[in-house]
Structure formats: structure tokens, C-alpha cells
Structure 1
Amino acid sequence: MRGTALASVTVSTAYGKVRGQEREGVAAFLGIPYAAPPFGPLRFRPARPPEPWAGERDCGRPGQAAPQPGYSSAMAELLVEPVETGEDCLNLNVWSPAPGRAAGRLPVLVWIHGGAFRNGSGSLPGYDGTRLAADGAVCVTLNYRLGAEGFLLLPDGTANLGLLDQIAALEWVRDNIAAFGGDPDNVTVFGQSAGAISITALMTMERAEGLFHRAITQSGAGHHCHSLETGRRITERLAAIAGVEHTTEALAAVPPARLIAANAALGQEMARDTAPGRWGESAGGGTTVLPVVDGTTLRARPVDAVAAGAGRDIDLLTGTTTDEFRLFLVALGMADRITDEVLHGFLASFGLDAAQAVAAYRADRPEATPGDLFSAVMTDHSYRIPAIRVAEARAALGARTFVYEFARPSPALDGRLGACHMAEIGLVFGTTDPLLGAEPPKELSDRMRAAWLAFAREGRPEPDWPPYGPDRSVLHLTGDAFRLRQDPGGRERSLWEGVR
């Protein structure tokens, strides 16, 4: 579409008029504020509405992303970072094929980005919503507070500000999206990794009830969160590293860059700490920021809340990639450093019989190295098993859930990444990124996008794709076909039964 003429288009929102640009039938409105900048007197406080403006607000370029540390140099060639970060970070982007011309008729897709709750932005080029809009939806992508700004359990009891930001954005969608042609009563949230974990949490939060009607969770489910005790310990130690008192006021006075540095230092400290129980569910992983089960905003671990019936009225499409963990092992140069001793140690730490687990994982991988087996184990532990548990819990309640496995290997790094974490995102959006390679498979992209859009419109991604049930049907998405399989990886899945 490069070189085609642009036309200005204006839409009225509850806070003022926004001016976007239309090209070949799709209008883009970038950097619309859905809340006031969460700094100064509003730092570490729930999002407040933005100040209204007079005249037309130019929304021709993305807004700022939340302050963040960025990725390591080893990951830089694979993961794109936002162009601009800053304090005015609570903004969103809208792509629509019919702003002001099809009020309330089109399905709405709202994207929540990943990045380990520390990095990322809804304005990355790979999340451009033009193709989804051209195919008949209104697409929204958003930014939210990251790191300590968004996911500390603060001394005054405030927690999960990043999740509350996402709810504020969904409230903006409810109140304003009809003017862009979207149906506020047909909203699907979709997201990947931390975004998918966020969505599973949102499905269980009272404040999010009624704000969306379907959900798509890619490579993230409802297990990853911090307990109240772990959240308290992390905040106490972070304040000590930052050199301030353990109070919300003192933390709010720390410059963002200094808080980011303190958070990174705490992550390294946690990763090295072998004291049993000190960091709870994050022991040995270095994960400082996750949603916190604080008893107020998030009342239970999301997977447990789902099993108790939360979100059962929301249709769910969920899945993982075949080789999720290879993105980290290969890119960071760790794959060849994993030994049998390390592998056995991790298996035992998860509560598995190490010898039995190695035999099960090696059965279909006779030539696998310890690093290959470690990747398969971590893919299951962190991604596939949590997704299956959510699907099983919902199936028991009669809630419609569709499960996929994305199996198309990335050509990046000479193909050593396999079908890794993030390998499917560009195909859903119809965009390009380093993981897709120079020639992304157009047919697979078109079919995945069609399935995601069909789910958003009607609650079913494909006519021949059955909901998850007793036969454990999973649709494999490969480079040349979609194949329905029953209980893939069942031998490995059974190992994790009873392991929390």
C-alpha cells in the first residue's frame, strides 16, 4: 500500500475529536489517550480518564509506550522494541474499515501485547491492524503500565495497575468504539504471552465483567501469578535495592529509570537465590513482576477461578506453539549448555520423577540432546500444560473452548528456533517480523486470520474445528494444512497430572 494517497478522517469520542488517516479503505487512528498519564500525582494510582481536548487531536503517529528496560543484545535481532517510551503511555490505536459509516456493526478485536510484563507496546509494526480491519473488523491495540509501575503489590495495598489499565482501555472501547464502526456488544480480546496471561486474569475479574465477550489467548494461560506473600517480599526488596523506604510515597518518588534498574537487579538476585521458598512460585526464575492474587482486584489464581466457573460465558480460543521455549534457549546461547544433570534437577524441582519424565519426553525424540528435552519440558511447564488445564476446567463446565498448536518452524537463526514463542503473531496480523523470515506463508496467514475473525464474529473459528472435550481435540496449524489431532503429547501431559 506504500505510495497510495492518504485522506484525513475525523471521529468524535467522549473526550474530543480525533483525526486519523485513511488509505485504501482502512482508517488508522494512532496514539489516542484512553487515560491520563499515570505519573506525577497519579503515579501508582489506578488510571484516571484523560482530560478532554478542544478541536481535533492529530492521531497520525503512535503514542509513547510505557517505560521499560528493553531486550538483551542477544534477543535484539529477533524482537522489535518501541520507538518512543515515556510517561504519557496510556494510549491505544484503532484501525477501522468504516469509521462513522457502520456504527455498531463490525466485530471488535482488542490486542493486549506480551513482553514478560516488562517490555512491549501495542504500536509495534508487527501489531499493525490494517489487514484485520480490511478483512472486516475494527482492531484496537493498547499500551499499559509495565514492570514495577504496573505490577507491584504496593505497601498501601494497591496492586495489578497494569491489569486495571487494560480494563480502562476496554471501558474506552465500550464507550467509544461504535463511532469507529465497531460493535461494543461484540468485543474479542486477543493477546500473546503476558497479554494472554492478562486476558485469562481479566476473565476472572469482576471489574472486567461485560467488557468483552470472547477471548483468544496465545501462549499464555492462568497459572502465572504471584501470591500475596511473594508480592510483598518482592516490593520490600525492590524498595531496599532502590534505596528508599518501603512506602508507596517513597517508591513514587523514585525516577522511572532508577526503578527499572532496581527491578532488573532484583531479577538477577532472585535467579541466583537457591533458598527454598523465599520467592515462592518465582524461585530460581527471576520473575519480579506478575499479576498478584491480592484478594481484591484478583481474588484467586486465574486457573483456579476458571475451574470454579469464572468466565464460563466467554468463548475461548487458546493455544501454544510446538517449541515455545526454544526462542529463549537458542537465542541466549543456552541450548548447548544444558546437561543431563541440569535437566534432571529441573524435572525434580517441578515435582516430577526425573527418570520417568526423561524417558517419556525422549520416546518421541530419540535423537534429542539434553537441551532439546529441556526445551520440550519448559514448553509444557510454562505454556502447554497451563493452556490444557484451562481448557479442561472449562470443558467440565460446558464452556466452549477451542485449542490449537502452532507447528510451523521459524526460519530465523537457520531454523534452530523451531515453532518458537511469538512465531505465529505476524501470521495473525498479516504483517512481517524477524521470526517469519523473508517469505511468510501467505496461505497460512490468510487462513489463521480468517479463523481468528470467524471466532470474533460467531464464536467458532472453523466449521470442522470442534470444541475441546473428552477426546482432547487440538487443531495443529502447520505450513501447509490444518490437522485435527486427539490428545497430542498425551504421554507427556499425563506426567503433569497432580503437579500444581
Structure 2
Amino acid sequence: MIVLSPLLTTLLLLVSLTLGAPASVTSTAFKSPLDDPWAILCKLPIVRLIASLCPRETSSSTMSISTPIGTAEGVVDISGVNRFAVRYATAARWAESYVSTTWALPNGATNASGLPLACPQQGVDDSAFSEDCLSMLVYVPQSFNPSSSVPVFMWVHGGSFIEGSATDAGLDGSNLAIATQSIVVVIQYRLGALGLMVPDGSTNLALMDVINALTFVNKNIAAFGGDNSRVTIAGQSSGATMIRSLLAVPSASYLFQSAILQSDPMDYGFQSSTTQKTLQSAYNNLINCAATDYVCQNALSVDDILNAQGTLFNEAFNLDASAGAGEPLRPVNDGTLITSPLDSTAPFPSVNKPILVSTVLNEAALTIYGDEFTSALPEDEFLPVCQASLGDSRANAVANASFYKPLAVDGSEDAREQLQELGTDYVWRCSSWTFARNWISNGGSAYVGRYSVGATYPGNEEVPICTETGVVCHQDDIEIVFGTVPNPTGVQSALMKEMQARYKAFMLTGSPNVPAYPPWAEATSSDVHALNLGGSGEVAAGSCDPSFWGAAVPYDYQVFGI
């Protein structure tokens, strides 16, 4: 769980929270505890009770596939899927990564059962991560062969660009691969300062890592039965921000055919070069290394790098308000790799790919009801909190609108309900709908949805509202898509089946429509036709009417000109 500074716990600075999946504990059948540092931990009853924190058990058998860069060794999963772990790229500290030219297991492992260590991040034991972390897990149904030519689904995890991994809870791709008859690839990339805060001022190393992951897939996936011309990229939260970043990189366009963005906090926009320079200068002071003092930089311990990163993350808003609080370290609109802001602040480029954009019912509840707002908030606090987050002009427009009027909760008014609705609309839902309108107005196709059913993601239960019936918090869509909900209800099972069928269709045709389910209308410039996922009909626009958010009340990317 991300720890935010007290200053940043006011409403929508916090609503920022693209909290992504917490790092998970992993275990498989290794030859030695040294091959799997979590093997013993996952045997403990208290850990095994949380089934999703430890991976699916695999059989002891292994198998191999011949690829253009050598023999790929994998394990045979009891589910009927073969799982391959591989290092897709390598990089020196704060240098561009380059695609692997030989097949190698992650972290120097000697056993194909080995799962990759996470990229360096705070909040986990040092033994759980490594700077040598540019790895992916490839899930291949056992019925596939090199002539199968099936679609490929590549997933990018969330975590505010500072945490998460390919082994996060719920990201076992076996069920999704079987249900969609596709190859599922789950990747990880350099996080935080190591991927986005390079002392010499270079930008977007993390984004280049993801491009290299796509390049690796492009070159090698045919050996497993995958069609490299039918790659769909997908991600949740900051992972979805990364997908949006890829859509803004013309040079990477040939590597994928369609994209899925789940719960992308689009209100922020990409980071500006000016803000990046401000944050970079502050970071270099924190590590006490000059921009080109590579001896100093390489002598830093990983803990030194992460501690300085944590300080910068918490102080970024004070240094430059446009950095925001949820993703102050994020991809930069550098004009070279990323060539468009893909928002309403500049001419939108011509596009042609199909995209699927979704949010969840209560995106902001995880933050609003957690941390500082753990008890009911008096109604007279609503406007001051909005002013602290939005500034007077936007706050007054919000307070005078009909969309966020006081609601009675348990017989009394609680401003948190208004704040979570406001935060959900402002940071996620309305900004996503605006993005979809821009996308289809410039040549692409878009399908928009909102989850009204979810599955409480591990860690979300710490915020009681996220366990209440009918509440769908940020991240609660992940296990629905992957089909990894432990002990699902009938409603959850039905939605898992539906979404996997729709994703299969989208990968094959660019449309999520399936005869067995209600029609999902394509978005238009006047109506995004947001499908109620888990419910019925379409979701009313409400404050997401373009005359309100984006016009009467600007998004952050408009206010700060980023």
C-alpha cells in the first residue's frame, strides 16, 4: 500500500491514488530455497489462507520450445497451460534497456519453475526484488503449437509506477489464456526513480522497457503459436497509463493492433518536460550525485535510490503542483518518443486502432474512505476539501452543480460519499470518456464500460467500504478479467465468463460484441454508450457530459497546461 504524505490526503490530490497491486508473495516447486526466496513463506498457514498471494501449484514436469533465440524451458501447469518465465531485456542502471538475444531465465535461475523477482520498490523485502528485473511470464495453452497463429494479450501491471510486478495477486494468466484461446503475457518494467528519474535527464526508460517487451514478443511469440500481428496490449491503473503512453508513440504502433485501458487516471495527463526537470533536479540533490557523475550514481545502494524516491514522491506536489499526488513519477511528453499529449490541450493525432476503455463504480472510495477519512466527514468540510484540491474556481463550480449534492448515509450526511463520487468522475470516469470521444473523433474506434460488479482485490479489504455489497473499488476489476476470483459468487462467475468472452472477441475482431451477450455499442462523439458491466443497459453520462467536466470544470491537464 502506498503511503502518502499528510499534505496530500486532501480529496482529489489523493484520489490520485492509482494504487496498483501490492507486491505479492510467490512460490513454485524449486530445487533449492535459493531459487525461490518465498518458498518457505508460502508454506505458512497465515499466508496460504490468502490463496491469491501465492501462485497456482504446478506439476513437476517441464517442457521446452525451440525459439529464434534458443530453447525456452517452461513448466506444465495443472490447468492445461504451459508457463514460461524469461528475461526479455537487460539494462545497466539508469541506461536504456536492450532486447535479449538469447533465451534466459530471470535472475540467473537454474530451474524453469522460477518466477522473476520484482523490480526494486519500497514496502517489500530486499530479497524479493532485483535490478535485473526486465522479465515476463508467458502463459500458453498446451493445445497450441507453432502453427496455431492465435492472438496475444500482453498485460502491464499497475502500482502508481512505484510498485507491482508480473507476479502480483490475481495475475496468473492461465484461466484467461484458456478462456480466450490466446497467449497471455504478463510483464514488468523498471519502476520509480530507476525507470523514470534518470540523473542525466533522460526520460521514459520505463516506457522503453515496455516497448522492448513488445519487441521481444514480436520476434519470438510465433514459436509458441502466437500471431505477432494480433497483439492486444492491456493494463490497469498506472499500467493503463502505460498503455496510453504506447498509443502516443508512433514508432511502437506496428507492435500491437488494439489496446485495453482499465481505470486509467487520465485526468493527470503525461508529465511535462518542465515539471520533469524540476523533479529531476530535486532528486539529484536527494541522492547527492551530479547529472553526469556516473561513479557516484553506480555507488548508490538500491535502498539509497528508493529512499530518495520516496521523499520525492511525497514532496513532488510542493515542488510543482502539476505533478499531482498519485503518479508524480510518470511518462513524460518529451516530443520525441511520446509525440502527443493525447488529451484536449493540443490537436489530437489521426488514429486507427480499436480501444476498450473501462472504469469501476467506486474508483475513489479506496482513498476517500481510507487514510485520513476513516470516519464520517461533516458536510461543511466538502467545499474546503474541494478547494484544497481543485482551487477556488473549480471547487465552486463543483459545489454549485447538481451532481454532488449531500447524501444521507445511515441517517446522516457524510461528505465522503460526495467526495468519492467526485473523485471517481474527475480522475477516472469523465476523463476516460473524454479520451474516448477524442479517439473516435480522430479515426479510431472505442468501446466504453463501467464495472458495477467486482471482486475485492487483496489489500482492499483494509478499507471496509470496499467489502460492502454493491461497492466496486479501484483494482476490483483485475481478478474478474483474469478469472482468478477465489470462491466467486454466481454473479462474479457470470461476469468473468462474459468479460473473457468479450476480450476474446475484441482480440480477434476489434469489437467486444458476442452473440450470447447484450450488444455493446461503439462510442460516438456525442454518446460514449458506456456499457454497465455486471448490470444492465448503459451508464448515464451525469457529470461526464462534455459540457461539465472538461468544459465548465477543466481537468488537471488543462489547468496546468501539461
Q: TM-score by structure 2 length?
A: 0.77
CA contact (8 A) 1:213 1:314 kept: yes
What is the letter of the counterpart of residue 548 of structure 2? S
Structure-1 residue corresponding to 2:95: 45
- 2:529 maps to which of 460, 473, 480: 473
CA contact (8 A) 1:317 1:403 kept: yes
TM-aligned CA deviation for residue 446 of structure 1 = 1.0
- 2:416 maps to which of 365, 371, 382: 371
- 1:26 maps to which of 62, 80, 97: 80
What is the letter of the counterpart of residue 301 of structure 2? P
Whether 2:534 is the aligned partner of 1:484: answer no
- 1:8 maps to which of 52, 62, 82: 62
Whether 2:311 is the aligned partner of 1:265: answer yes
TM-aligned CA deviation for residue 425 of structure 1 = 0.5
What is the letter of the counterpart of residue 21 of structure 1? V
1:413–1:262 distance in 2 versus 1, CA, 3 Å: closer
CA contact (8 A) 1:335 1:371 kept: no
Whether 2:133 is the aligned partner of 1:89: answer yes
What is the letter of the counterpart of residue 484 of structure 1? E
**What SS is found at the alignment partner of 1:336?**
coil
1:169–1:4 distance in 2 versus 1, CA, 3 Å: closer
CA contact (8 A) 1:348 1:354 kept: no
Equivalent positions of 1:415-494 (< 5 A) are 416-417=465-466, 418-432=471-485, 441-463=492-514, 464-469=519-524, 470-478=526-534, 481-490=535-544, 494=548
**What SS is found at the alignment partner of 1:318?**
strand
Moved more, 13-22 or 490-499: 490-499
**What SS is found at the alignment partner of 1:380?**
helix
**What SS is found at the alignment partner of 1:139?**
strand
TM-aligned CA deviation for residue 386 of structure 1 = 2.0
Structure-1 residue corresponding to 2:51: none
Whether 2:230 is the aligned partner of 1:186: answer yes
Q: Deviations over 1:247-271 (max 9, x none)?
A: 3624344222111101111222335
- Cα distance in structure 2, aligned partners of 1:410 and 1:300: 35
- Cα distance in structure 2, aligned partners of 1:34 and 1:241: 31
Q: Deviations over 1:322-350 (max 9, x none)?
A: 21111123232425375224333146428
Whether 2:291 is the aligned partner of 1:235: answer no
What is the letter of the counterpart of residue 444 of structure 2? A
CA contact (8 A) 1:402 1:468 kept: yes
What is the letter of the counterpart of residue 447 of structure 1? E
Q: TM-score by structure 1 length?
A: 0.86
Structure-1 residue corresponding to 2:156: 112
Structure-1 residue corresponding to 2:426: 381
Structure-1 residue corresponding to 2:340: 300
CA contact (8 A) 2:57 2:77 kept: no
Whether 2:362 is the aligned partner of 1:323: answer yes
TM-aligned CA deviation for residue 314 of structure 1 = 1.3
- Cα distance in structure 1, aligned partners of 2:86 and 2:544: 46
CA contact (8 A) 1:34 1:90 kept: yes
Gap runs ≥5 in structure 2: 1-54
TM-aligned CA deviation for residue 91 of structure 1 = 0.7
- Cα distance in structure 1, aligned partners of 2:101 and 2:229: 26
- Cα distance in structure 1, aligned partners of 2:464 and 2:246: 35
Structure-2 residue corresponding to 1:75: none
**What SS is found at the alignment partner of 2:548?**
helix
What is the letter of the counterpart of residue 177 of structure 2? A
Whether 2:375 is the aligned partner of 1:336: answer yes
CA contact (8 A) 1:68 1:118 kept: yes
CA contact (8 A) 1:142 1:169 kept: yes
- Cα distance in structure 2, aligned partners of 1:420 and 1:89: 29
TM-aligned CA deviation for residue 378 of structure 1 = 1.8
CA contact (8 A) 1:46 1:161 kept: yes
- Cα distance in structure 2, aligned partners of 1:21 and 1:103: 21
1:22–1:444 distance in 2 versus 1, CA, 3 Å: same
CA contact (8 A) 2:530 2:539 kept: yes
TM-aligned CA deviation for residue 51 of structure 1 = 5.7
Paired residues, what number? 475
TM-aligned CA deviation for residue 201 of structure 1 = 0.9
- Cα distance in structure 2, aligned partners of 1:212 and 1:177: 13
CA contact (8 A) 1:221 1:390 kept: no
Equivalent positions of 1:159-178 (< 5 A) are 159-178=203-222
Gap runs ≥5 in structure 1: 72-80
- Cα distance in structure 2, aligned partners of 1:403 and 1:350: 32
